[in-house]
């Protein structure tokens, strides 16, 4: 079974530029999560989707961050414009199926560097 | 804010030694998960715990869901070089929907 797929794996941009990250969850998983992981820290939830609905986006900085999951499968996270402090790893995770909602499986992440 | 206290922050051990790490909180948890993360990769699920008192093993790894539902520990027996990485606990607080993560325990093994 394929795991959570993310692309790109690495992205380097200059501040004020836009950037987008893509995630394809495990097949059959209805719940998709985007996390932010700063260096030396655990992941912190940005947004959670149940199918195509964003059910928890309370931690998403909505002035510059946006996300979508139009067909309830793939998802895109966008930052516009990027700031220096956005440099971090952006992780996508999914859950669902027989393992249950609490058992989340992570992708490899996208490491963003903002110069 | 920080809801999980994970300790120790780092460990330096000799190959073959046993390892123990834990997470504690003032909140009651319904689920505890333990993940391992290696450089450049996402966290990989090791063990999931769903009931107070539950003790679950995965090879040389053993984790327990504390009776008080406010803590969990992970043990690694007879460590080997490939155990190197950062171990994260994560849990779902009773009444909440999202997982919260600990700060991680960085494990280094001297051969």
Nearest CA in chain A to B31: A102
- A48 contacts in B (CB within 8 Å)? 97-98
Q: How close A92 gets to chain B, by Cα (Å)?
A: 9
Is B102 an 8 Å CB contact of chain A?
Answer: yes
- In three state form, how does the secondary structure of chain B look? CCCCEEECCEEEEECCCCEEEEEECCCCEEEEEEEEECCCCCCEEEEEECCCCCEEEECCEEEEECCCCCEEEEEECCCCHHHCEEEEEEEEECCCCCEEECCCEEEEEEC
Nearest C-alpha in A relative to B90:
A42
With CB atoms and an 8 Å threshold, state whether B98 touches A40.
no
pLDDT (tens digit, 0 to 9) for every residue of chain A, 115 residues total? 689 999 999 999 999 999 999 999 999 999 999 999 999 899 999 999 999 999 999 999 999 999 999 888 999 999 999 999 999 999 999 998 776 777 899 999 999 999 9
Give per-residue pLDDT as tens, B2-39. 579 999 999 999 999 999 999 999 999 999 999 999 99
């Amino acid at each position: 079974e394929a795991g959570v797929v993310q692309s790109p794996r690495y992205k380097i941009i200059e501040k004020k530029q836009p950037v987008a990250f893509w995630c394809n969850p495990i097949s059959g998983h209805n719940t998709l999560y985007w996390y932010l992981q700063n260096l030396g820290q655990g992941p912190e939830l940005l947004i959670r989707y149940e199918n195509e609905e964003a059910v928890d986006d309370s931690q998403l900085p909505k002035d510059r961050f946006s996300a979508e999951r139009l067909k309830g499968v793939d998802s895109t996270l966008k930052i516009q414009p990027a700031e220096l402090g956005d440099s971090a790893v952006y992780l996508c995770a999914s859950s669902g199926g027989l393992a249950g909602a609490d058992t989340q499986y992570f992708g490899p992440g996208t490491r963003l560097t903002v110069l | 804010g920080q809801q999980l206290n994970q300790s120790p922050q780092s460990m330096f051990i000799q190959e073959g030694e046993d390892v123990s790490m834990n997470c504690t909180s003032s909140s009651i948890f319904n689920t505890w998960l333990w993940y391992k993360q290696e450089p450049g990769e996402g966290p990989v699920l090791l063990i999931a715990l769903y009931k107070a008192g539950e003790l679950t093993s995965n090879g040389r790894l053993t984790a327990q869901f504390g009776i008080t539902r406010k803590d969990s520990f992970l043990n690694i027996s007879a460590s080997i070089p490939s155990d190197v990485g950062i171990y994260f606990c994560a849990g779902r607080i009773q009444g909440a929907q999202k997982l919260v993560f600990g700060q991680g325990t960085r494990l280094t093994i001297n051969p």
